[in-house]
Amino acid sequence: MNFLSVSIWLVGRRKMSQVRHLRLLGLLATSTWLSLLARTLST
């Protein structure tokens, strides 16, 4: 593999990990919000 393909592969990997990180953050925020909402509704 030449340098260009390696750099493209690394950038692609970094982008994918960022997307996965954002998705995990979104899931965490959603679950936190849902638990807060359930606690508010239950009282």
Which pLDDT belongs to residue 1? Answer: 63
User: pTM value?
Assistant: 0.57
Which pLDDT belongs to residue 43? Answer: 79
Which pLDDT belongs to residue 16? Answer: 87
pLDDT > 80? residue 41: yes
Structure tokens at 8: 């493209």
Cβ neighbours of residue 23 under 8 Å, at least 6 residues apart?
Answer: none
Over the stretch 5-38, which tens digit does the pLDDT of each residue have? 999 999 999 988 888 889 999 999 999 999 999 9
Which pLDDT belongs to residue 35? Answer: 95
Q: Which residue has the tokens 């679950």?
A: 31
For the chain, the residue count is: 43
